[in-house]
Amino acid sequence: MRHDVIAQAILHVAGEAPMAATLCNISRHGMVIDSLASLSSHSDIRIELIEGQLLPARLIWREGFKAGLELVEPLRANDYWPLLVALATDDASASDAC
C-alpha cells in the first residue's frame, strides 16, 4: 500500500553533494521523490528520510524532476508505521512539488 505524503528528505548520490528532495509518496518497498538530483539506473543512491538513517535505493523510473525509487531492502512493518507518523509531522509546507 502506497501512502501520499509531502516531506523533506536528503538524497545522497555517490560522488555528489547531498541534495534536497521532496518525498511525494512511500510504501514499504519504495517511494516517489521530486528532486533536481542527476540520477541514473547506475547511481549509488541513499535517501535520508529521518536524520541519520540512510536507506539504500535504486532508480526505477524518472520523469522530469520526479523519480521512482525502489528500496534495496523493504522496510519492515514495525519500522514503516513509526516512519509514517514521523513523516506526517514533518514541516514540508515550502514544497508543493508533488
Tens-place pLDDT, residues 73-87 = 999 999 999 999 988
Mean pLDDT to the nearest integer, 28-33: 98
- Residue 92, pLDDT above cutoff 60: no
Question: ∠51-35-49 over CA atoms, to 5°?
Answer: 20
Residue 46: φ, ψ to 5°: -135, 135
Place 93 in a pLDDT band, splitting at 50, 70 and 90.
Answer: low
pTM of the model: 0.89
| Domain ranges within the chain, ordered by starting residue | 3-88
**What would be the CATH architecture of the domain defined by 3-88?**
Beta Barrel (2.40)
